[in-house]
Amino acid sequence: MNFFTDFATMFWEYRSYFLTGLQYTLWLAALGVLFGFILGLFVALIRMSPWGIIRFIGHAWVEFLRGTPMLVQLMIIHYGLSYMFDINFDPIESGAITLSINSSAYLAEIFRAGIQGVDRGQSEAARSLGMTQGQTMRFIIIPQAIKNVLPAIGNEFVVIVKESSIVSFIGVTEIMFQAGAVQGITYNGMMPFLIVAVMYFIVTFTLSRILGRFERRLQASDNR
């Protein structure tokens, strides 16, 4: 009983720390998925280009970002660019950029699978109506592909919420950073991180349930 009392007491006493950190976490995750969505769609189209060199660039982008730890990417963006090229970002900017480009690599593959999964008859029908390849992709293929992969995009958002914890390494006051601050104040090495774990679980569980319901509604609309 004392454990739950201590848990609730610490959360309430330092709620401003935890809730402020949660705001930064959700904000960074939203930015990461938003810009990752835009960049990922662009990279997916590059990977499907008829020109080999363009496809190679897209392939290299995806493989490098998926094959290296996000923490390394964060260090390169925040410290490496400053050291090598005098390009300086504040911690929030570095965190948002890292999450965006990392997310773009995974979303690019999701989009590519979605585009390739659209029935070729759709393209042929659009061409028969006189639409160009660009118009067909813009008005016919991409909207259907995005609808088909929306659940996967939502899952990526859940993943980014959890992976955003790495930005605490460069001083962004997200939820893990705030847990460390509370730990330093209270000298309690366990309870602040248990509170953070529960907060992460509540957020990701809630998002997963919302996404699951949304996916079922999409399936129901497709079956009509």
The 10s digit of each residue's pLDDT in 159-188 is 999 999 999 989 888 999 999 999 999 999
Q: In the chain, what are the domain boundaries?
A: 2-223
The pLDDT tens digits of the residues spanning 73-91 come to 999 999 999 999 999 999 9
The superfamily (CATH) of domain 2-223 is MetI-like (1.10.3720.10)
pTM of the predicted structure, to 2 decimals: 0.90
How would you write the pLDDT of the chain (224 residues) with one tens digit per residue?
688 899 999 999 999 999 999 999 999 999 998 999 999 999 999 999 889 999 999 999 999 999 999 999 999 999 999 999 999 999 999 999 999 999 999 999 999 999 988 888 888 888 888 888 888 888 888 888 888 888 888 888 899 999 999 999 898 889 999 999 999 999 998 999 999 999 999 999 998 888 888 778 877 666 66
Identify the CA nearest to 156 among candidates 87, 224, 196, 108.
108
Residues composing the chain: 224
Q: What is the mean pLDDT of the chain?
A: 90
The per-residue pLDDT for 126 is 81
